[in-house]
Every structure is written in structure tokens, then in C-alpha cells.
């Protein structure tokens, strides 16, 4: 798949899923560019107040995906991988306010470390990030399966 074909597949998935996820009032920009570390493959930056988001997709996305995720979904067609990735990034837009809440309120849930003066510890942050990723992956799977089984009327 050429980078142009990858971009076209991303745009098709955005056109399909933005209305379904009720994100029509967002300005969502697709940028075909390798995300900044530590992110790999694809990532999203979103600003809730102004309803703007930028999705970065590595032009080499499929190769990165192969390295990281094929153990989970071996043999999945490329088009499905791309669609799942776009749904995943759009769901991050939906759950993004949770991150802000977490940063304010995580102390009661995970505690703090003494060394950093009571700030949220790196472990707690990693733990929360893993929860978010697994939740987003779970919801992505449900949405894609519903789509494939004609669970959507539109």
C-alpha cells in the first residue's frame, strides 16, 4: 500500500466514523506524519474546548502495526487495521476529558510518590494510560464487530 492509498483509506474511515461517533462538530485534521515519540503508528492530539483534533498517522503505519499488534489480530486485512486505528483514535477524542480529570483526581485512586513531592507517580500514570488504552481497544473491537455484523443502520 502506498502512502497515498493509506491516506485515502484513513480519509474514508474518518468520513464513515465521524458521524457515527457524533463528532461532526469537531474539526479533525489528518496529518500523514510519524508521531513524536513515545507514540508509534498513530496518535491524536485534541483540544476539547475548541473541538479541534489532529490525528497523526505514520506513512509507514502498516509496518509499525505489523511489528506491534499483529500478535493480537494476525492475518487481519490492511483495510481493517486502518479502519480500527481510525476508530481507536476517534474514541480517544471522546475520552480525552478523562485524562484531565485523572490528572486532577488520581491521587485518591493510585496514591502519590514521596520522591516527587506528592505529584502523581509515574507508575500511577502508566497504569492509568494502560487502562485507557485497553478501554479504547475494547470499544473499538465492539464497534467494528457491530459494523461487520450490520449492527449499524446508517
Q: CB of 27: closest distance to Zn ion in angstroms? A: 20
Residue among 97 and 111 whose Cβ is closer to Zn ion: 97
Q: Which is nearer to Zn ion, 101 or 115 (CB)?
A: 101
Q: Closest distance between Zn ion and the C-beta of residue 129, in Å?
A: 9
| 3-state SS, residue 113 | coil
| Beta pairing class for 52-57 and 27-32 | parallel
Smallest separation, CB 52 to Zn ion (Å): 19
Spatial separation of the C-alpha atoms in residues 117 and 78, rounded to whole Å:
47
* Shortest reach from residue 88's CB to Zn ion, in Å: 6
Contacts to Zn ion by CB under 5 A? 133
In the complex, minimum distance from the CB of residue 4 to Zn ion, in angstroms, rounded to a whole number: 25
Smaller CB separation from Zn ion, 1 or 129? 129
Q: Which helix (H) or strand (E) holds 44?
A: strand 42-47
Report the residue number, 90 or 106, with the smaller CB distance to Zn ion: 90
| Rounded Cα distance, 154 and 147, in Å | 10
Beta bridge partners of 32: 57
Residue number with the shortest CB distance to Zn ion? 133
**Alpha carbons 142 and 137: distance in angstroms, whole number:** 9
Q: Is the dihedral of CA 17, 143, 60, 4 positive or negative?
A: negative
Amino acid at each position: 500500500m502506498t502512502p497515498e492509498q493509506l491516506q485515502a483509506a484513513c480519509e474514508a474511515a474518518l468520513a464513515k466514523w465521524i458521524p457515527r461517533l457524533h463528532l461532526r462538530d469537531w474539526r479533525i485534521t489528518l496529518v500523514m506524519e510519524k508521531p513524536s515519540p513515545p507514540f508509534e503508528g498513530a496518535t491524536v492530539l485534541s483540544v476539547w474546548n475548541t473541538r479541534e483534533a489532529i490525528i497523526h498517522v505514520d506513512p509507514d503505519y502498516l509496518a509499525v502495526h505489523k511489528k506491534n499488534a499483529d500478535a493480537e489480530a494476525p492475518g487481519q486485512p490492511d483495510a481493517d487495521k486502518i479502519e480500527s486505528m481510525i476508530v481507536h483514535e476517534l474514541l480517544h477524542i471522546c475520552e480525552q476529558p478523562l485524562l484531565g480529570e485523572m490528572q486532577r483526581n488520581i491521587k485518591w485512586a493510585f496514591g502519590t510518590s514521596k520522591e516527587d513531592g506528592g505529584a502523581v507517580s509515574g507508575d500511577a500514570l502508566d497504569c492509568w494510560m494502560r487502562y485507557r488504552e485497553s478501554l479504547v481497544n475494547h470499544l473499538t473491537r465492539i464497534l467494528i464487530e457491530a459494523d461487520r455484523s450490520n449492527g449499524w443502520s446508517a
